[in-house]
Amino acid sequence: MGVEGQVIGLSAAPATAKTAHIVVLANEKGGSGKTTTAMHLIVALLLAGQKVAAIDIDSRQLSLSRYIENRRLWSKKSKLGLPLPALHSIARAGGRSIDENETEEFARFAAAISAVEQDHDFVVVDTPATDSYLMRLAHAMADTLITPLNDSFVDMDVLGRIDAESFEITATSHYAEVVREARRQRRMVDQDETDWVVMRNRVGQLDTKNGRNFAEGLNDLSRRLNFRSAVGFGERVVYRELFPRGLTALDTLDERTLGVKPGMSHLAARHEVLGLLDALRLPINERGRRRMNARAEWFRASRGPLEDAEFFAD
């Protein structure tokens, strides 16, 4: 069975509801692999026959936008016909005040969501590694929130504090509280629950004491913060090599597409991506119109962005 067949096999049923499932990739720490994960997820869903839109709200880096543009250009140049998502990049506002900028960026984000939600099955949102109004809004709208986390205690610190001797969790961190509050606001709006998945990324190939301590700490945090953990991608150069041509491990990789003969690392990367997709358990058939109605209410109630105190009020 080819990759497309394997990916399609992940789908339980064709989409039926006219509202998109929103997947948000987020982590306040940079370099965690959000964009790479987002692109592989987008291509996997496209190969599964889904209609996918991508929204890039990382207005400074626009890494996902460049990844998709690289894919479009390479597909055209090599005549490969690679599947592509609809792309909306949210440009930074250049006003003189924070309020003006937030209002303008909110309007752009709302327009992007409105443009794709009714006629796409999935919307994948890539976020910046900063705490901002727009980043928090994306969290509150997520049906599935994926937080890639490098396999190191330095990166785990974004979620919780670790005791130096016992490696037990002593306190939760700022970003964990941001997610907790966004999930609470989501429940208040439409009584639904965001599925939060923390993805272990750049996982080492060897079983080490540090790796075991990290896994135990993450399990402790998952109980405290109510997230699911999943094993993501290994520490492989291949993921970085794919970016210039906009390719993923799920594409047909040969000398024509890749420029070199693929090796075992490419095959291992493909299995890692498929394993992650199984762990995410993304719905192909949608859960109904209540998400659409809730988001429409958010936008109707807001001519501009809500104040933080109002949006995140107790």
pLDDT in tens, 207-250: 677 777 777 888 888 888 889 999 888 888 888 889 999 999 99
pLDDT at 287: 43
By the 8 A CB rule, do 54 and 87 touch?
Answer: yes
pLDDT at 228: 93
Using pLDDT thresholds of 50, 70 and 90, give the confidence band for residue 205: low
- How many whole angstroms separate alpha carbon 284 and alpha carbon 120? 11
* 305 pLDDT higher than 80: no
* 81 pLDDT higher than 80: yes
- Residues whose CB falls within 8 Å of the CB of residue 251, separated by 6 or more in sequence, listed in order: 3, 43, 82, 257
The mean pLDDT value for 20-40 works out to: 91
- How many whole angstroms separate alpha carbon 47 and alpha carbon 236? 23
pLDDT at 89: 94
pLDDT in tens, 250-298: 998 888 788 778 888 888 899 999 999 999 999 864 443 444 455 555 5
pLDDT at 213: 76
pLDDT in tens, 91-105: 888 778 888 888 888
Q: What is the mean pLDDT of the chain?
A: 81
* 4 pLDDT higher than 80: no
Most distant CA pair in the chain: distance in Å?
A: 57
% residues pLDDT > 90 (the chain): 34
Token pair, residue 257, equals 């597409």
* 112 pLDDT higher than 70: yes
Alpha-carbon distance values, 86 to 47, 122, 154, 175, 205 (Å): 14, 11, 35, 29, 36
Q: What is the set of domains in the chain, with CATH numbers?
A: 16-290 (3.40.50.300)
- How many whole angstroms separate alpha carbon 69 and alpha carbon 75? 10
- How many whole angstroms separate alpha carbon 224 and alpha carbon 180? 11
Q: Report helix, strand or coil for 281.
A: coil
**Count of positions (residues) in the chain:** 314
Token pair, residue 100, equals 């003006």
- Which of the given ranges, 127-136, 140-149, 153-162, 218-227, has the highest pLDDT on average? 140-149
- Which of the given ranges, 11-25, 42-56, 210-224, 229-243, has the highest pLDDT on average? 42-56
pLDDT at 289: 43
Q: Report helix, strand or coil for 87.
A: strand
C-alpha torsion sign, points 158, 159, 162, 167 = negative
pLDDT at 162: 75
